[in-house]
Structure 1
């Protein structure tokens, strides 16, 4: 008996040893395979990136500067020629430049200020189909509204796919305070998922009261029933815009910021076939011809239309005071500290006092809240957030937050002009103030003298808008058709920063370069596979210094991961020409914390002045420009939306 037990124990031991041995060997094989194959599983970390052409190189393509009187100019005076000129460096303009360039056209993109300096940097930062449009489509039985939702859901997927470093999927909770709303909201969000089809990001789901409070402890719990969670895209709009311009340039486009189109050049038949453009830095003027011109100036479309309409190509100086095509409205957003929202889930207020939808979203380590919708009777040159609109947003937020919402918590605020559009040929002096005839989406309008205007729409559909306007331009221009352009290829085209990006890049950068998690995450999520180029600049300890430390750093000083190296990268690789370009549109500090950005203006100006060799007057001018702009981002109370500088 004892012998049998001993034999059985021996057998069990032998089997156990065999199992352990085989298991160990298997695990060792996995471990060895992982070590062997690890590097092949990820794109390489690349620091050697070719610098883009300098601004002067692009200016040489425009020909010699001229001084001839504007009234005497025509296409015969042009010093250079492109296939296509695109006026406007916002989302649609840069998207069109990329689209046309990939089709094989020789493209010139001209922007009066900086890329994304207007509406395209002042959005709600969402790539979305529009839940509220779906509600209207259902209750109004509107196929047009439903088509808008489906179109935007398709384009949402394109943004997330083509710029994964800049765009991400964000769950958004709708707090419910009435039991009957729970199935109502759930049904609507399931339809939203259904219409997205195979491109749905995640399925919507219901959160219990306790689970919602666990996620959003700042919520007022009184009367709270639970919540409904759906999903949309969140992205960095200005960085996306700049990246589109850089991608267009990488593939052959000539892209220039701070180049103002002052006049259209007419050919013998009176058609608009070129531009007189002024360099905002040197004030030199260039005359450039083209087979076609696209007007992608958004709220300022009417100014270009007046140039096309006039015989000498000069604009009506008062046209923006009585626009025909654009019906402007102001949308204000504010940025608040991170404790106003969960770090990984947004909130949607579906029951505001005036029927609007209000978002509260985690963005770049802060909380973005908005938006308002205030009609404007003219297009402002420098729109600002009024104190009334800021307080309106805070008032709506107070309905949900159990602690006091304070005005001093506002870190930044801004106003973007939303261009609602209509066919300008239908507008008369009698119906100019009417909203009748406004299109729900975007509008492509071909003027009698050949100008192609694209306006309206929203960030989410920028790519489709670009595709449509480039296609329309080619189809209506025999000279472009003769070049046998390729079909559109932007649907699945990775932009700069996305080509070798993968989701663990931030961890790999932190590990490889011994960076803090905050700095590695910031660089990976804003520059993608270009991040190592910035980190490589840190070999010079001066470039590794954070911006805004000053002589007496405090804990608050270290709240943002922006460095001198990032600033130098923006100048050398991203055409940042002035302090505001970097602070507002490359690193977004002015949008995240205006007071901190204001304290950084002089330091940024010093670095840029050394790089570009500014004289004292130029440096003073650019500092004043940045100070005014940032001061009006929620620091100084503004009485209305019509800012001037």
Structure 2
């Protein structure tokens, strides 16, 4: 993906479809559209997956909570959502095996009755999961549970129910979608902000007016059709296209915090089935940390980035502490992050916790804008398919969706054991080789080969993590990294697991980027200082 080349194409070519928003739904739509044979442009006002799509709980799931609500309230919309999620789960796992994998989740229980309740519920969950090979749920005794998660409080523990879902690196999965779209002919560019639309004599959209957010240059992107995939910001784009439309979304805020891996000291995740506000909370191993989330609070202020605050930090810690032999020390918190859910406002009387995570494809008859509203990560591909099916009708076409069996960038010819080849061929430490293969898949050797050109690129960015300097160079050249945060937050996930080490790594990352991108000393300082200030604010908000 070359940003300069893409910008020239955006300005000079005529597209069938331009897609606004390069999160999971937008990148998914771009890949679906280009595989159907359309000429496609994909743009985002920030980086790929810079908002909601990089701030999930990293689960690929049907939703255990939705299943419970479906039966308790006879809510068949919730049941449909579970079924769709579980149908898509195996496709998400299959299409990017380097970025998505099965995850074992333990539900600790304090009595035999609780154990029976959750075993029945999770067995029902299993029955909805057709077409995949994940193991079925099991009811384990106390000893078996403690062997898997040794930090639990043995005095309160009776037993546990084990089940399986999927886990993904959400930001890199979204990037792989954008890369795959680009490699199939889409013009893809980050940091392109929409400022308005051009319309034909009938009032239909025929161009997107935009600005290059990095240098202020104006762009006019001509297209037959515009698709709005901006998640919680969808109403802004809809009203820009047609001011007479009513708002459709009720964004809600969800936050996570990151603790040391030793908090659970396990590769097993944990489902906390009971919280003070009627949700479920997950504690999940991710990138050398234990990540806990999520919350659900109504959010009216969507212009400001959602962050972890003190109250939310205390809530998540208080939710996990009753299950641990040793309570969490607030000083152990390494990082936190927040995101916005793009919930459809189906019923203004309902709390955001009870709104279904379903999606809708809206076509505005006046402007011709297609908006993909609502949804969740697990069903991104189904959401994209539904959207492109509607686009087909508008464009007078009938084209087959090919995404169900399309292996994403880095997944082609992937082998989980290929890290051993990197270890042998390039002399990289085992943890570094494993990391490269888990993030870049079959393209990991391209990152490792940079080490042969410059031995210094084999050096770690932080002694505590497997990330190396070569990744900075590779991602700038191949993954459209243009700011330090693009790299540290989304290409590697250090920002969401360890704020201190993010700050410690920042000077080296900025130096390498400055060399690759030709920054002046003043530009390098400006980028580094701005990001350091953001991290400082995140830390302050969480205190």
* TM-score grouping bracket, smaller chain normalisation: over 0.9
Match of 2:78 in 1: 145
TM-score for both structures, normalised by structure 1: 0.81
Structure 1 contact 349–358 (Cα < 8 Å) conserved = yes
Q: How does 1:556-575 map to 2 (within 5 A)?
A: 557-575=462-480
Task: Specify whether residues 446 and 129 from structure 1 end up closer, same or farther in structure 2 by C-alpha distance, changes over 3 A only.
Answer: same
Are residues 1:543 and 2:457 paired?
yes
* C-alpha RMSD of matched pairs (Å): 2.0
**In the alignment, which of 250, 253, 268 is matched to residue 327 of structure 1?**
250
Q: How does 1:11-410 map to 2 (within 5 A)?
A: 52=1, 54-63=2-11, 80-310=13-243, 324-410=247-333
Moved more, 81-90 or 196-205: 196-205
Match of 2:338 in 1: 415
- Partner SS, residue 198 of structure 1: coil
Match of 2:415 in 1: 502
Residue 437 of structure 1 deviates from its aligned partner by: 11
Query: 2:471 and 2:17 mapped to 1: Cα distance?
Result: 33
Task: Specify whether residues 584 and 437 from structure 1 end up closer, same or farther in structure 2 by C-alpha distance, changes over 3 A only.
Answer: closer
User: Could you list the per-position Cα deviations for residues 53-75 of structure 1 after superposition, in whole angstroms to 9, with x for gaps in the alignment?
Assistant: x3221122133xxxxxxxxxxxx
Query: 1:440 and 1:404 mapped to 2: Cα distance?
Result: 33
Residue 282 of structure 1 deviates from its aligned partner by: 1.8
Residue 512 of structure 1 deviates from its aligned partner by: 3.6
- Partner SS, residue 525 of structure 1: helix
Structure 2 contact 313–542 (Cα < 8 Å) conserved = no
Structure 1 contact 102–486 (Cα < 8 Å) conserved = no
Moved more, 141-150 or 281-290: 141-150
Are residues 1:476 and 2:394 paired?
yes
Residue 600 of structure 1 deviates from its aligned partner by: 1.8
Residue 396 of structure 1 deviates from its aligned partner by: 0.8
User: Could you list the per-position Cα deviations for residues 88-137 of structure 1 after superposition, in whole angstroms to 9, with x for gaps in the alignment?
Assistant: 01000001000000000000001100001101000000000111111112
Q: Which has the larger radius of gyration?
A: 1
Residue 383 of structure 1 deviates from its aligned partner by: 1.6
Task: Specify whether residues 115 and 167 from structure 1 end up closer, same or farther in structure 2 by C-alpha distance, changes over 3 A only.
Answer: same
Query: 1:416 and 1:272 mapped to 2: Cα distance?
Result: 30
User: Could you list the per-position Cα deviations for residues 199-230 of structure 1 after superposition, in whole angstroms to 9, with x for gaps in the alignment?
Assistant: 25111111111111122111011131111100
Task: Specify whether residues 436 and 176 from structure 1 end up closer, same or farther in structure 2 by C-alpha distance, changes over 3 A only.
Answer: closer
Match of 1:637 in 2: 541
Query: 1:436 and 1:565 mapped to 2: Cα distance?
Result: 43
TM-score for both structures, normalised by structure 2: 0.96
Query: 1:535 and 1:146 mapped to 2: Cα distance?
Result: 46
**In the alignment, which of 502, 506, 519 is matched to residue 432 of structure 2?**
519
Query: 2:243 and 2:273 mapped to 1: Cα distance?
Result: 47
User: Could you list the per-position Cα deviations for residues 25-56 of structure 1 after superposition, in whole angstroms to 9, with x for gaps in the alignment?
Assistant: xxxxxxxxxxxxxxxxxxxxxxxxxxx4x322
Residue 577 of structure 1 deviates from its aligned partner by: 0.6
Q: What 5-or-longer segments of structure 1 have no aligned partner?
A: 1-51, 64-78, 312-318, 548-556, 640-645
Q: What 5-or-longer segments of structure 2 have no aligned partner?
A: none
**In the alignment, which of 522, 526, 534 is matched to residue 447 of structure 2?**
534
Structure 2 contact 432–466 (Cα < 8 Å) conserved = yes
The count of corresponding residues between Structure 1 and Structure 2 is 541
Match of 1:443 in 2: 360
Structure 1 contact 328–378 (Cα < 8 Å) conserved = no
User: Could you list the per-position Cα deviations for residues 266-317 of structure 1 after superposition, in whole angstroms to 9, with x for gaps in the alignment?
Assistant: 1111111211110112211011211100000001111101111149xxxxxx
**In the alignment, which of 606, 620, 631 is matched to residue 525 of structure 2?**
620
Match of 1:6 in 2: none
Are residues 1:454 and 2:367 paired?
no
Moved more, 401-410 or 512-521: 512-521
Moved more, 185-194 or 505-514: 505-514
Query: 1:378 and 1:332 mapped to 2: Cα distance?
Result: 15
Task: Specify whether residues 439 and 265 from structure 1 end up closer, same or farther in structure 2 by C-alpha distance, changes over 3 A only.
Answer: farther
Query: 1:576 and 1:593 mapped to 2: Cα distance?
Result: 20
Query: 1:504 and 1:187 mapped to 2: Cα distance?
Result: 37
- Partner SS, residue 501 of structure 1: coil
Residue 197 of structure 1 deviates from its aligned partner by: 2.3
Moved more, 136-145 or 199-208: 136-145
Moved more, 576-585 or 189-198: 189-198
**In the alignment, which of 479, 482, 487 is matched to residue 582 of structure 1?**
487
Match of 2:381 in 1: 463
Query: 1:210 and 1:376 mapped to 2: Cα distance?
Result: 43
Runs of 4+ residues over 6 Å off in structure 1: 431-437
Residue 439 of structure 1 deviates from its aligned partner by: 5.4
Are residues 1:607 and 2:521 paired?
no
Query: 1:402 and 1:350 mapped to 2: Cα distance?
Result: 18
